[in-house]
Structures are given as C-alpha cells and as structure tokens.
Amino acid sequence: MENLLTIKDAAQFLNVSEMSLRRWTNAGKLKCYRVGGKKERRFTRQELEHFLQTQEGRVPLGICGAAVEDSSHIAHFYRDAAESVAAGIEFSACGLSRSESILIVSTETKLSQILAGLELLGFPVEKLKSEGTIVTDTGRCVFNEQVHFLAAAMADFPIKKGSRLLGDMVWAVEKGWTMDEICRLESKANHLLHGSNKLILCQYDLTYFGADMAMKAFDAHTLTLYRGEIQQSPYFRGSTGERP
C-alpha cells in the first residue's frame, strides 16, 4: 500500500479543514483507514484525488460533508442554538481553509461563540479580522444601511480568493425588522452572488420564525439545509421574485 497521509496532510491536500474531513469520513463520503491504538484516520492520495474529481465544479460547504454549486444561497433551518453555532463555525472554517474571506452577521452572543470556535480550531481570529479576512457585524436597524454595508463589505473582498457570507437572521428580529424587510434583504442578497467564488448561508431559528417566514425563505434560497440534509428549493424565485 502507498504511503498513508495523516488527517492534517489530507486537509492540506484538499485545502479544507480537518473538521470537514472528519464529517466526510463519518458520513462515508471519503474513504479512510484507521491505524494504531487510537484508530487515527489515514488517507491515500488516490482516494483523495478521486474525491476531488467527484466534487469538480462544486464547493465544499463545510457542513455535513456537503458540496454545493458555486454562488449558492442556502437557508439553514434549526431549532437548537448550538446547532446554528456549530454550523456557523464549520461553514466559516471551511472558507478560511480555502483562503476565502468571511463576513459574519449575527447576534453578539452567537458571534462571540463562532469566533471562539474558530480560535479553538487554530485560526488567528484577531489577526484575520485586522487583515479584513474576517468581517463581523451585529446588523443595522435601517434596511438601506444594512444593504449598503453588505454590498460594500463583499465588494472589498479579493475576488479570486472567494468569499462567504454567514447570517443568522435572529439579528434582524432583535433589530426590530419586519418580515417584509427580511424578505427584501434576502432578495438583495441574491444580487451579491453575481460572479463566482461566493456562498451565502442564512440561518433561521424555527422557534423565532413561523411557517410563513419559512416558506418565504424557500422562495429566496436555491438550497435548504434541515436536519443535516441539503435539498434543492422547489420554490426558489431568485432576485426578481419570479420562479425560473
């Protein structure tokens, strides 16, 4: 058998986080060998290259071992705050491992938890923030101010390296936004995806948002994430409000 790669080596080979590799191997999406008394993961270059070929044209989401089309707009529905934080950490860590820029809009509590989680994974958060690789915000009370901020922040990111926007929409509830304003913002977000090397993940706490808002989120997002499964949204209307 050819020389086996450690999980650190494999993560560098695929340009992803070690957390993503653990998810993929646990889900059976990437073959690994267990060696030694601690049953540590080991990988072959052949298996890693095969995995890359199956993912061609798609971008690793960082969550549940999923890969999605470039420029995807994903709605994540959850009921447990810990789930949203974990997904936010995984999504952001995957982007940072790919040298992408990250914009996070969330409540102060969740924002601090996500950044702390990234620190635990070895990312120098303060340094990345000072460099502009990580940009954080707790949201604005005025719709136009928020739209301007998002557009300006995304425009400042290096185009070739790619970028990700993570937004837990509970922040909008805390800022007093109406359902209509949230829907309008989601429509505007689709314009931010023009081009390539971009992903947007919007999180919806089902204990805050009812069925009506959930259905409207289906309209605004190309993909949905619920209970660990990624699905194509059959109701996506795009930025124009019309179904394709």
Task: Determine the pLDDT at residue 49.
Answer: 79
CATH number corresponding to 59-232 = 3.40.50.300
Task: Determine the pLDDT at residue 235.
Answer: 79
Task: Determine the pLDDT at residue 14.
Answer: 76
Task: Determine the pLDDT at residue 210.
Answer: 86
**CB neighbourhood size of 49 (10 A):** 11
**CB neighbourhood size of 189 (10 A):** 21
Angstrom distance (rounded) from CA 16 to CA 7:
11
Task: Determine the pLDDT at residue 57.
Answer: 67
Task: Determine the pLDDT at residue 241.
Answer: 45
pTM summary value: 0.77
Task: Determine the pLDDT at residue 56.
Answer: 64
Question: Residue 108, SS3?
Answer: helix
Contact 90, 63 (CB under 8 A): yes
Contact 204, 213 (CB under 8 A): yes
Question: Residue 82, SS3?
Answer: helix
The 10s digit of each residue's pLDDT in 137-189 is 999 999 999 999 999 999 999 988 899 999 999 999 999 999 999 999 999 99
The 10s digit of each residue's pLDDT in 74-90 is 999 999 999 999 999 99
Q: Profile the chain (244 residues) by mean pLDDT over runs of 10 residues.
A: 83 76 82 90 87 74 86 94 97 95 98 98 97 98 97 91 96 95 93 85 94 89 91 72 40
- Give residue limits of the domains in the chain: 7-54, 59-232
3-state helix, strand, coil in the chain (%, to 5): 45, 20, 35
